[in-house]
Amino acid sequence: MKRTTKVLIALSMILSSTSALAERLEVFRWQALDGKAAQLASSLVEAAKLHEKSGASVGVFQMDVGGSGNTTFDYVLRWDSSEAWAKTKAYNSGEEFSAFFAKAGADPAGKLMMSLEGLNWDASVTGASFADDGPFRVFIWRPTPGKMADIYETFMAAKAIHESLGARVNIYNEGIGGTGNIHYVMSWDSWSSMASSGDAIAMSPEFRALQASATGQVTPVGSIQGFPLYYSK
C-alpha cells in the first residue's frame, strides 16, 4: 500500500507539471563572442523587454561558475498557461520581434549553445514569482529508471530542508529539447544569504541522512551558479 501511494504521488506530480496552469519555461543559453559580453547582455535585455509585450515573464542570468569559455548567459522565458506561451510564439514571428532579431543578427554578439523546456513540479508557482530572486544554483540530475516515486519523495524532502535553511527551491522536469533530466534550482536574496544558507545545509545532519538514503536514485549531470541581470517586474 505504501509503495502504491508513492507511485500515485509521483504520477500526480508528473501530471501537474504538464498542466496548462503550471509554470512553464524555456531556457536559451548564449555564449558571448570574443569581447562582446556587454553587447550580448544588452541585446538579451532588449529582447526581454520586447517579449514582455507578449505576456511572458523574462529573465537574463549570467553564469559565474559552471560555464566554459567566454561569458555565458541564460535567457529564460516563463509563462503561466499554454495560451500565454502560444501568444509569445506568435509574437516571435511578428514584425516587431523579427526586426529586432534581424538587427541583432547583423552584428552578432553571441552564439546559441542550447535550449530546452522546463515544467515546474509545483503548479502554484507563477512566472512573476521570481522577480526578487538573487543569485542561484542549478543542479541537474539524471533519474534512475524505475525510481521516480522514490526520487519525488527524496527531492520534496530536500526542498523542505533547504527552504527551512534559507533557500528557495523550484524543481523542473525537462520537456522539449531535454533528455529527461531533473533540474533542482536553488535561489537566494543575496550572496550573503546564499553563503549562510549553504553553511547551514552543509552542517545539517538531516540533509546528510537524506543524501545517504537516496543512493542510486539519481546521477549528477552538471551544475551552474549565476546571478540575475534582469527580470520582469
Q: Are 59 and 230 in contact (CB under 8 A)?
A: yes
| Domain residue limits at 43 | 2-231
How wide is the angle at C-alpha 71 spanned by C-alphas 228 and 50, nearest 5°?
50
- Model confidence pLDDT, tens digit, residues 172-190: 999 999 999 999 999 999 9
The domain that contains 175 carries what CATH number?
3.30.70.100
Phi and psi torsions of 138, nearest 5°? -120, 125
Q: Are 229 and 136 in contact (CB under 8 A)?
A: no
Q: What are the DSSP calls for 132-190, one per residue? A: T---EEEEEEEEPTT-HHHHHHHHHHHHHHHHHTT-EEEEEEE-TTS-S-EEEEEE-SS
Task: Give the span between the Cα atoms of 50 and 56, in whole angstroms.
Answer: 9
- In order along its 233 residues, the chain shows pLDDT tens digits of 555 455 455 545 554 444 455 689 999 999 999 999 999 999 999 999 999 999 999 999 999 998 878 999 999 999 998 999 999 999 999 999 999 999 999 999 999 999 999 999 998 999 999 999 999 999 999 999 999 999 999 999 999 999 999 999 999 999 999 999 999 999 999 999 999 999 999 999 999 999 999 999 999 999 999 999 999 98
Query: What is the model's pLDDT at position 23?
Result: 86
Query: What is the model's pLDDT at position 17?
Result: 46
Q: Are strands 182-187 and 218-231 parallel, antiparallel or unpaired?
A: unpaired
**Coil, helix or strand at residue 109:** coil
- State the residue for C-alpha cell 541537474: 140
Q: Which residues pair with 114 in a beta bridge?
A: 29
Q: Give alpha helix (H) positions in the chain.
A: 2-17, 37-52, 82-92, 95-106, 148-164, 191-202, 205-213
Q: How many domains does the structure of the chain reveal?
A: 1
Query: What is the model's pLDDT at position 18?
Result: 47
